Chains A and B, each alone.
Chain A
Amino acid sequence: MEDAAAPARRRSDRARAVPLLAIAALGVCALAFDVTLPLRLPGDADHAEAAAALRVRAGPRDAVQLWPPWAERARMFIRTLPVRTEEDLRAADYPDVERLWLLAMPRVPFARLSRARAALRERGAIAGEEMRFGGLSLQPWDLRGPRVLSFITDPREEHEVDYVPRQCMQVRIGPPTDAGTLEARGLGGVLHVRAGIVGERAYQVARGPVRVEVQIDGAPLATLTVPPTVPPEPGWRRIEVAAPSGEHAFAFRVSARDADRPFCLAAWTTAP
């Protein structure tokens, strides 16, 4: 006959299996994650379908924003419109882009697609209907940004600032007595100027700031100072300044004590 302590003994015996069960559960969870991860990622066919959808639906003033920004395999497939990899969608410039297509991998770990969408909403963008292509999500966003009147700098040239490719032109930095100069003609309105130091030299604090003097028809209009980047402060600096309407000659004079740095500048005007 079973004694009174037997059930407790059995429970105690069973408890001895708990550490192994815990390890087994851990192993199963880890393996389940590993094995299913590829199923959460898009395949070539998904990319091709998304690219085809963009070919059919996108207009001349559309662009694609990848999310997460590292998801650049899409560049292999999207050849009909500009691809952007901005990291801060709330503050990013999308000059002359009316509609932004957010191409995302929603099932990638830590993708945080909801944050990207929230950032777009915060800047006043309006979401369109989302499409799914396997592991890819494609959603148009009407940016409702101001209309570009003139690109003062060529938007086809790109350089990296703050680890993000920027549509900007490389300008020589000169010493204060012989500043590097970029000159172009364009329409007045709200002048947007962006500038930053390219590459790792942006983070070398001892090199000091770069000064950009903006002139319109030979007269000073504004000054933008680009200090060495000390995160979390951005290295891609910006000013907005009103320029009188009509066509003007714009000049940007770039100078610094230490001129041995690649420097990049973007400027465009929008309707007030």
Chain B
Amino acid sequence: MTRRLPLALAALTFAALFATQSGVGFVRDEGYYFEAARSYEQWVLLLLRAPAAALRDTGRYWSLNFEHPGLAKLLFALSHLVFTTWLGWLPDALAFRLPAFAFGALLTYWLAMLAAQRSRAAAVFAPALFWGAERTFFHGHLACFDVPICALTVGVGVAWARAIGILESSPSTVTPPSTPTPPRRSLFFGFLFGCALAVKHNAWLLPAVLLVHALLLPAELRRRALRTLPWLLLGPIVLFAAWPLLWHDPVRHLSDWVSFHTHHVHYAWYYFGRELRGPPFPIFYPLVLLALVLPLPQVTLFAAAGAKLLWDFAHRALSPLRLLELGLAGAAILPFMLRTTPIFGGIKHWLAFVALLAPEAAHLLAGAAGLASQAGLPRARALGIAAAAALLPGLWQIAHVHPYGTSAYGELAGGVPGAASLGMQRQYWSNNVTAVLPWLNAHAPRGARVFFHEVNPESYRAYQQAGMLRADIQYASGPWDAQYAALQWHREFRDREPETWNAFGTRTPATGFYLDETPQVVVYARPGLPGAP
């Protein structure tokens, strides 16, 4: 297979993300990353104008959001610089998000490359299975790090597989182990690992996975893999180059970075009717959550894929490429089964687990269609039935829930209302507030003070810059200080609603955003104000 199909699928992914981004609210973290990217953009401009000053002043511009490496935010900044500041083609938020869509496209490309080793149908199914759920689709839109690090985890896997000769553009041309690895492939592998390090700290797990993978390979391949591993040393160099904060006083900044994550706060998280506030967390939490949020066909196919990989591993029947997929998938989720790792944020922290299972899941789906065609069903019809059965529930979920991705639940949870009854986290990150912004714009008097609850000042400013919120509406720090309140329903913030009732003297919402009857964002207005009941 040529790269034409993966490239076409990647372009389709980019177009789909671009076309559906407008309603996606600015999640809490995006607010911080937008601010950081603005600061980095100023640094880039300074670099172009006065390079010596820019090299000297890295701390001033890059200290913002020191807890994450610089590459993704630098790309957000460069995109904004080119498409908004210079060309004026795109609004601010869309320009910041453009690199995220590119990472989404890259993820599709690499998934298709991996799955194409099985079949052409699997190459199409793999990215479709990954993206065909509102949770994953939603994350593809954000100027955050979750999809970028997921894409780069898969990308490093693909680059490693190519560097050691177990993955080629055409499965029939796998490089014999005796043939030396072309240096450009090893170079690219090392570079990509550096990019992953420069996006998010999850990448530090990859060398261990690749070492174990190398050691489990047959002798000749093992030798080649062990010869390739030192190229990982390029990684820290790329990290250093892509994160100017490290250019001065690197030890202190590295220490701050590590310290932030080793002492990360445990946010309260609602799970089966109880608030998880700290370790020990349920061991199967990440798997159970995946089962509840993804559409049922994906849950089944991913579970079957995981089981098949483990079964074949136990029976020493895994090809080197499938062994790599299993290792990377395991490394993506196992840290969250330690019972001590922070587990907030839905499934976003282990998206790579889903992605790395997608090629095998796609293969099983294509295999089911292939078997049916052997039983007499025309092959095209069998593939059509397989695609419809596996993907339509997910497409329905996207059509029904998008852009409120953090609220999505699958059929096993009983959908969004079933999950509410089960006592699951209703939403997070505050982006669902976009559903009530038009109402506030229409009703709030000029200069009205609104308590936006979980929406941080950075996201509030981003809504105003994007024209989604009137510029005169002011940010209130609490219900006592506000004329309107837009409360996001979180179990751990239940105290804010009675607080608002007491402050406003009413228990009747003025409006709200209710998803399948579940309260997501409830708006209160002081009696007598426009829109008040």
Contact with A along B354-378 (1 / 0, CB 8 A): 0000000000010111011011110
Q: How large is the interface on A (under 10, 10 to 19, 20 to 34, 35 or more residues)?
A: 35 or more
A247 at the interface (CB under 8 A from B): no
CA distance A10 to B396 in the complex (A): 37
CA distance A163 to B372 in the complex (A): 52
Whether the pair A109, B415 counts as a contact (CB closer than 8 A) is: yes
Whether the pair B507, A70 counts as a contact (CB closer than 8 A) is: no
Contact with A along B463-505 (1 / 0, CB 8 A): 0000000000000000000000000000110110111011000
Whether the pair B495, A198 counts as a contact (CB closer than 8 A) is: yes
A57 at the interface (CB under 8 A from B): no
| Chain B residues with CB below 8 A from A92, complex form | none
Whether the pair B368, A157 counts as a contact (CB closer than 8 A) is: no
Q: Number of B interface residues, CB 8 Å?
A: 61
Residues A5-25 near B (CB distance < 8 A): 13-17, 19-25
Whether the pair B421, A68 counts as a contact (CB closer than 8 A) is: yes
The distance from the CB of B174 to the nearest CB of chain A, in whole angstroms, is 28
Whether the pair A109, B389 counts as a contact (CB closer than 8 A) is: no
SS of B interface (majority):
helix
CA distance A80 to B377 in the complex (A): 62
Contact with B along A15-37 (1 / 0, CB 8 A): 11101111111111111011101
B21 at the interface (CB under 8 A from A): no
Whether the pair B422, A110 counts as a contact (CB closer than 8 A) is: yes
A211 at the interface (CB under 8 A from B): no
| Chain B residues with CB below 8 A from A146, complex form | none
A58 at the interface (CB under 8 A from B): no
Which of A71-79, A187-195, A237-245, A249-257 lies at the interface?
A: A71-79
The distance from the CB of A186 to the nearest CB of chain B, in whole angstroms, is 22
Whether the pair B396, A110 counts as a contact (CB closer than 8 A) is: no
Contact with A along B151-164 (1 / 0, CB 8 A): 00000000000000
Select A31's contact among B369, B382, B396, B522, beta carbons within 8 Å: B396
The distance from the CB of B407 to the nearest CB of chain A, in whole angstroms, is 13
Residues A211-232 near B (CB distance < 8 A): 231
| Chain A residues with CB below 8 A from B438, complex form | none
Whether the pair B372, A16 counts as a contact (CB closer than 8 A) is: yes
Whether the pair A41, B492 counts as a contact (CB closer than 8 A) is: no
Whether the pair A70, B368 counts as a contact (CB closer than 8 A) is: no
CA distance A249 to B367 in the complex (A): 80
Whether the pair B499, A159 counts as a contact (CB closer than 8 A) is: yes
| Chain A residues with CB below 8 A from B268, complex form | 200
B517 at the interface (CB under 8 A from A): yes
Residues B385-432 near A (CB distance < 8 A): 385-386, 388-390, 392-393, 396-397, 400, 410-411, 413-415, 417-418, 420-422
Whether the pair A31, B393 counts as a contact (CB closer than 8 A) is: yes
B312 at the interface (CB under 8 A from A): no
B interface residue numbers (CB < 8 A to A):
268, 274-275, 277, 295-297, 300-301, 365, 367-369, 371-372, 374-377, 382, 385-386, 388-390, 392-393, 396-397, 400, 410-411, 413-415, 417-418, 420-422, 491-492, 494-495, 497-499, 501-502, 507-509, 511-512, 514, 516-519, 522, 533
A37-B516, A108-B414 known, 4 other contacts, Cβ within 8 Å = A70-B420, A70-B519, A108-B418, A200-B268
